[in-house]
Chain A
Amino acid sequence: EVQLVESGGGLVQPGRSLRLSCEVSGFNFDDYGMHWVRQAPGKGLDWVAGISWNSGSIGYADSVKGRFTISRDNAKKSLYLQMNSLRVEDTALYYCAKGHYSGSSDHFDFWGQGIVVTVSS
């Protein structure tokens, strides 16, 4: 069974940093691209960042470029999102999502349950 479990969320002040993690099981992690997708309260889905199987291809939404960094550790079967200079508008439920292919431009066939990030003073 495919499982993706996010951690690291919480309440943080504007301008501060937070690091999200996603541990996976049930599939060959290093064969697939991985992504972060977020959903602000009561809003739609918003792709944040994606990374290919070997970290050779990485992409970001314009809204987070220069502030967020996606990375992965294939040995640990884990995906990360380093979020710096956080803004109130980054408040959302953050999902870890598995790509269907090995690249980073893809759709998402499995999702975690999400982790809440709240940016507020």
Chain B
Amino acid sequence: EIVMTQSPATLSVSPGERATLSCRASQSLSSNLAWYQQKPGQAPRLLIYGASTRATDIPARFSGIGSGTEFTLTISSLQSEDFAVYYCQQYNKWPLTFGPGTKVAIK
């Protein structure tokens, strides 16, 4: 099983600032990595797939980069609606696995 780790567990950021979230895989994923946002009481929402392709209707302030085992999600200028938990997920190999999440909190 591919183990996904995310850091930090919690990121405290002020509105308007940049947030950088990391995701690491225990083995190479090529670019088969997705990012999701989840707000309390809501289903997850796909943000990024293929490590760097924004999903439909996702604002340009969200960007992803990486390949192999190291990946990064950047939110360039945090808006109030961006405070949430972010998960990475690998789909390179079964079983599909998620990281434990990074909570982006208001500073």
Contact B87 A45 (CB under 8 A): yes
* Minimum C-beta distance from A60 to chain B (A): 7
* Minimum C-beta distance from A107 to chain B (A): 4
Main secondary structure of the interface of B (DSSP, over half): loop
- In angstroms, Cα B1 to Cα A47, docked, is 12
> A32 contacts the other chain (Cβ, under 8 Å)?
no
Contacts of B43 in A (CB 8 A): 95, 111-114
Chain A contact-residue range equals 20 to 34
Contact A44 B87 (CB under 8 A): yes
Contact A107 B100 (CB under 8 A): no
**Inter-chain pairs besides A45-B87, A46-B98, A108-B89, 8 sampled, C-beta below 8 Å:** A45-B36, A50-B96, A59-B95, A95-B43, A105-B91, A109-B46, A109-B55, A110-B46
A residues at B contact (CB < 8 Å): 35, 44-47, 50, 59-62, 95, 100, 104-114
Q: Can you give 7 A-B contacts (C-beta < 8 A)?
A: A45-B98, A45-B101, A59-B94, A100-B49, A107-B49, A110-B46, A111-B45
